[in-house]
Amino acid sequence: MSTAGLGPMDRRDFLETLGRLSLGATAAASLSTGAARGSQRSTEKVWQPVSERKVRVGIVGYGVCQFGAAFGFQDHPNVEIVAVSDLIAERRAGLMQACRCEKSYESLEVLVKDPKIEAVFVATDAPNHAKHCMEVLNHGKHVMTAVPAVWGSIEQAEHLVETVRKTGLKYMMAETSYYRADCCAMRQIYRAGGFGKLVYSEGEYFHFCPTPIPSFNGWRIGSPPLWYPTHSTAYYVGVSGGRFTSVSCIGFDAGLPSNKPGANKYENPYSDEIALFQTSEGGASRMLMCMGVQDVVVETGRVYGQRGWMQDTEYHGLLKDLPDITVPALPPGMPAGGHGGSHGPLANEFITAILEDREPLVNVYEALAMTVPGVVAHQSALKDGETLPIPQFTRT
């Protein structure tokens, strides 16, 4: 079936739907072969509230993907949406309507001064994620951000982690692969010892973009592929909690106009990048981000360990009694949302972490462990694949 007549967002929706159908078929086959059971969202789980308190939330950003409302904060019983913001008045009004909120501010910088707000979801443009998160934290509020954590800058990463440490507030990055059914299952099996040490892993983010998705100030036009790495790198960091220690990366151009000389502000010649990482476990990991492969839009990964391996929903290995590998339950009426049903679980995790006064699953250290390696990988690609060390951000 051809998707040539579909626009960028329509094509993504079509291919994600196709992917969900394939996942369902694979899961059904798994049940009959004794492979990993329960990798789809369970209908038997019941959400259990941890508090009756409502977290007072502000939401910023309602761009082309309309992510400000896409994660379902407005449908969570422990959330009160206090105010929203977008720089563009029409979008601001749309976000108010989508979040059923009657108050708005003209910018994030104004919204964070509202004393009633205690947490903010930053769904702004990627180049400003770190800046905006630090602005939120420095005003005494918890923050969840869309991906990636930083935009091509190690210095940004250093400032961000310093700010999180200084303020002591909750920071979470909303990496969607963490709550895709396959990655979530891999994480639980890894924790149960079903893989042992990971010898090799792979993460793949294909997003065919013959023309760039519209973006604020054109930040997407010709951007380095592995500056947006986290949908892929989550298939190692989000499974094992391990780290990438060094990288060799190659880049290539699929002939997209935005990667021609002088066509983008990044001086980036590559539409696609593939990186080979060494890991803290002593293994290897191949991660890619490709925009030039015709009609492919998919986020997926595989892990191979000493005691077993897994791809899609099928586990093969020595672990006989599998743990619960289903995605956590959501409050009644809260949709799972897009990106493989990951949006709702991410919002729920952030709110629950605040209520329980604990670190979110995708805290600043995990966020930087997924993001910074992509920044270094692009540097390697520009140096013809030279192996480069990756800075580590650890708790002090």
Q: Could you tell me the pLDDT band of residue 214, with boundaries at 50, 70 and 90?
A: confident
Residue 241 located in a structural domain: yes
Amino acid 222: pLDDT: 96
Domain count, the chain: 1
Residue 339 located in a structural domain: no
Containing structural domain, residue 224:
8-39+177-325+363-389
CA nearest to 200, candidates 299, 105, 279: 279
Average pLDDT of the chain, as a whole number: 90
Residue 142 located in a structural domain: no
Q: Is 135 helix (H, G, I), strand (E, B) or coil?
A: helix
DSSP state of 327: P
Residue 138 located in a structural domain: no
| Domain at 372, CATH number | 3.30.360.10
Residue 125 located in a structural domain: no
Please check whether residue 37 is in contact with residue 30, taking contact to mean a CB–CB distance below 8 angstroms: yes
Residue 317 located in a structural domain: yes
pLDDT digits (tens, 9 = 90+) for 180-207: 999 999 999 999 999 999 999 999 999 9
- Between 378 and 20, where is the model more confident? 378
Q: What is the value of pTM for the model shown?
A: 0.89
Residue 237 located in a structural domain: yes
Of the given ranges (44-53, 279-288, 342-351, 376-385), which has the lowest mean pLDDT? 44-53
The residue-averaged pLDDT of 327-338 equals 96
Highest mean pLDDT range out of 7-21, 211-225, 264-278? 264-278
Amino acid 21: pLDDT: 34
Residue 353 located in a structural domain: no
